[in-house]
Amino acid sequence: MQATEASDYTLTIVPDAAAMSGMAAELVAGAVAANPGLVLAVPTGSTPLGMFEHLVAKVRAGNLDLSGITLFCLDEYVGVEPEDPNSLTGWLKRSFVDPAGIPWDRVRAVASSAADPGAAAAAYDAEIAAAGGLDLAVLGLGPNGHIAYNEPGSAADSRTRVLALTPESSAQAAAYWTAGVETPSRAITVGVGTLLESDRLVLIVSGAAKTEMLRRALEEPMDAAIPASWLRLAGDRLHVIADAAAASALTATNH
């Protein structure tokens, strides 16, 4: 994969997180309207919660049917089952899948408790490919520049794999974990290269805490130190939706 940008991504700067959530939800809803069998991935974390609320409201109002999509979970802690209260898959089920009326059999999750997590990760990559790849991947921006759990050091052509979490990500995860339970040191994540094969990628970013990381991701040379910077390789398949606070340090806003 060449580290050049074939064409430019789209950047939309909106006033606040609510507007970011609304716009991201419209993109997802529009994609599902055009293709009820959409192969979708959505992030975990605080950023997508507003988007989930909008989508669930549309489903409840009868304006959106997500029952035919296939949803691929992007990451999971090694050894943690979906039933575990600390599981990312379980979190996604509670936060989005169940309220949005997505049948559980339409959800794909990596077999993170498999005896051989590396083989499970490779099998998951193959499962995404067998589904025709992701039609739409909505991603959040990690405080350390990660996308899904592709931590700093992740290559542009990395596949779905096991990797060690940075201390920063472990601390971020701890906020979601049952108090007193040690957070895991390893996760399985859909790889950067796998994500870059998606037909469309949407990066949602809000808040002043992300300002500097978004600037580095979009305006510094692409580098494994900031995995999100690789997203620019997707060219015009990438749409960045940032609120004004997150976008405040960007110098080139005419995308």
Binding site for ligand PGA (CB under 6 A): 43, 45-47, 140, 142, 146
* Active-site pick, 81, 144, 197, 199: 144
| Whether 236 is catalytic | no
* Active-site pick, 84, 135, 146, 150: 146
| Whether 75 is catalytic | yes
First and final C-alpha spacing in the chain: 23
Nearer to ligand PGA, 47 or 194 (CB): 47
Nearer to ligand PGA, 109 or 141 (CB): 141
Q: At what angle do helices 49-60 and 17-34 cross, to 10 degrees?
A: 50
Nearer to ligand PGA, 125 or 151 (CB): 151
Residue 69 Cβ vs ligand PGA, minimum distance, rounded to whole Å = 21
CA distance 76 to 111: 9
Burial 122-133 (b: 16+ CB within 10 A, else e): eebbeebeeeee
| Whether 53 is catalytic | no
Residue 199 Cβ vs ligand PGA, minimum distance, rounded to whole Å = 21
| Whether 219 is catalytic | no
Question: Is residue 201 within a helix (H) or strand (E), and if so which, with residue range?
Answer: strand 200-205
CA angle 46, 108, 111 (to 5 degrees): 95
CA distance 132 to 137: 13
Report the candidate in 80, 113, 95 with the shortest Cα–Cα distance to residue 183: 80
Q: Which residues contact 235 (CB under 8 A, 6 or more apart)?
A: 5, 6, 7, 8, 9
Residue 173 Cβ vs ligand PGA, minimum distance, rounded to whole Å = 9
Residue 175 Cβ vs ligand PGA, minimum distance, rounded to whole Å = 8
Nearer to ligand PGA, 45 or 90 (CB): 45
* Residues taking part in catalysis: 75, 144, 146, 151
